[in-house]
Structures are given as C-alpha cells and as structure tokens.
Amino acid sequence: MSNGTRPLVAVLSGAGISTDSGIPDYRGPNGLWRKDPEAEKLVTYAYYMADPAIRRRSWRMRQDGATLRAQPNAAHLAVAELERSGVPVRVITQNVDGLHQLAGMPDRKVFELHGTARAVECTGCRERSSMSEALERVAAGEEDPPCRVCGGILKSATVMFGERLDPEVLGSALTVAKACDVFIAVGTSLQVQPAASLAGTAAQHGARLIIVNAEPTPYDEHADELVREPIGTALPALLRQLGDETG
C-alpha cells in the first residue's frame, strides 16, 4: 500500500474514456474493426513493414484521424484534477491519444501501455520525432516519409499488432497495480491482456477495485464497486467522492 497518508489511486483507462472526445472505439458495435476489417492491416506490423501501399494508406488514415485533433473531456480533466489536489494518482492507459497529459497529468505519472500516436519512430535506428512534423511531410507530398536520420521506415510510436509491449512500461504498471490502494478500471472491456490482468493483480494485493464500464467485464466478480453510468459524468463524481474521502 502507499507510504503516504493519502491512498495511492491507480486509473486504468481504455477506449471508453476517450469516446466523448470524438475518438471512436475500435472494438465496439460501431468500432473501426467491425466497419472495415481491412483497417486492421494498417496497424499490423508485418503488413505495415511489407507493403508500401498499406503504409501510404496508414499515413492517410493518420492525417484524417480524430486522435490528434481531440481534446480532453470531463473524465480526463477529473483525473488530472484529483492529482492536482494532492492525491497520489498514477494513470495506466491502453489509449494512444495522449489526452491524459493534455488534461494536465504529468507525463511521468502516465504509463502508456500501447505507446503514443503523438510521435513517430524509425523501425531501423529507433529515432523518435513528432507525429505532427511527419504529417506535414505527408501533406507536402511525401506519401510514405522515410526516417531523416537513416532512411528507414517510419511508423507511429504505438504498439502495433504483432509487436510486444515495452517491458519497462509494463513493469512500471505492474508495480503500480501491486502498490495502489484504489484501482479504477474505466472504459475498458478488461479483455485485452496483459492490461486486463492488472485489475486482478490490484485486487489480489488488497486494492479497492472499482470498474466503470457500460458493459460487463471478466473482472466484475472481483470488483468492490461496479458503475454502469456514462463515464463523462460518473468518473468525475466518483473521483470527487474519493478526493473528499481522502482529503
């Protein structure tokens, strides 16, 4: 448990926390994968590396996508507000949109399990640069911009299908799950491993487990509290209550 007088709150966020910001859920009833099964190839490492046509389409998708234009919503802002109030908060996110940081969460307190869509990475030399700069090159006519350092293939700094999670980020997330007093899983189906197992780990280590999600999850039976209300109103109310309890 946390060493300080105030409990350590861990927030595991999934796609559901960002839908109010206009970012579609990939796996939901209206999700991208259901509407366009071919779209999954655009974020599959083997296809992306092998096929220039898929890379060109991926860059167009990034240009047209809602992620980089999105703004934090009430749920993201509530998490950052709790952290600012003095409660120790750590965010573990399955999202790549960077909205927790835009809302005011310090970067070092956010663990991005699936990377970030706000940066690009060279698959050769691992040089990182900003996504907005890469998209400017695409807009200027480079359909598949190569790395400016080594000429290698650039990709979004997200974890694609077929790539493994960063073991350091995952290790930090596991440490947080074991140490926290309250673990809130919000907007996640808790079906994608290893992220989902963090909820079970937290519960096993004595954390109060709260699940905020419209649909049932495999971890509901371990939860101390289930919230089925819309995230945009339910999470801010829940975090205000937590802040009052621990103030």
155-178 confidence digits (pLDDT tens): 999 999 999 999 999 999 999 999
The kind and range of the H/E element at 117 are: strand 115-122
Task: Specify the pLDDT at position 2.
Answer: 43
Sheet strands (E) in 131-242: 154-158, 182-186, 208-212, 225-227
Neighbour-count burial for 210-223, b at 16+ CB within 10 Å, e otherwise: bbbbeeebebeeeb
Percent of the chain's residues with pLDDT above 70? 93
Instruction: Write the pLDDT tens digit of every residue in 76-116.
Output: 999 999 999 999 999 999 999 999 999 999 999 999 999 99
Per residue in 2-37, pLDDT (tens digit) is 445 789 999 999 999 999 999 877 655 555 555 666
Nearest to 62 by CA among 148, 132, 165: 132
Q: Is the pLDDT of residue 134 over 50?
A: yes
Q: Is 240 helix (H, G, I), strand (E, B) or coil?
A: helix
In this prediction, residue 37 carries a pLDDT of 67
User: Domain containing 146: what range?
Assistant: 26-65+118-158
243: Cα separation from own chain's centroid: 23
Residue bearing the bigger pLDDT, 38 or 185: 185
CATH number at residue 10: 3.40.50.1220
For residues 45 and 149, membership in a common domain is answered with yes
pLDDT surpasses 50 at 229: yes
Q: Are 131 and 156 a contacting pair, CB within 8 Å?
A: yes
On whether both 138 and 244 belong to a single domain, the answer is no
Whether residue 177 sits in one domain with residue 210: yes
Amino acid at 152: G
Block residue for tokens 């698959």: 123
User: What's the CATH code of the domain at 128?
Assistant: 3.30.1600.10
Catalytic residues: 114
* Counts for the chain of helices (H) and strands (E), in that order: 10, 9
**What span, in angstroms and rounded, lies between the C-alpha atoms of 184 and 17?**
12
Tell me, what's the pLDDT at 221?
95
Residue with tokens 């998209």: 135
**66, two tokens:** 């809602």
**CB atoms near residue 141 (< 10 Å):** 7
Bridge partner residues of 212 (DSSP): 186, 227
With a cut of 90, say whether residue 140 has pLDDT above it: yes
Same domain as 87, residue 182: yes
Measure the N-to-C terminal CA separation of the chain; round to a whole number of Å. Answer: 17
Query: What's the number of domains the chain is made of?
Result: 2
Same-domain check for residues 108 and 180: yes
Instruction: Work out the mean pLDDT of the chain and round it to a whole number.
Output: 92
> Average of pLDDT values for 39-65?
92
Exposed / middle / buried, residue 102 (Cβ in 10 Å: 0-12, 13-18, 19+): middle
Percentage of the chain lying above the pLDDT 90 cut: 82
CA distance 116 to 94: 10
Please report the pLDDT score of residue 31 as a whole number: 55
Q: What is the pLDDT of residue 245?
A: 85
pLDDT for 175 = 98
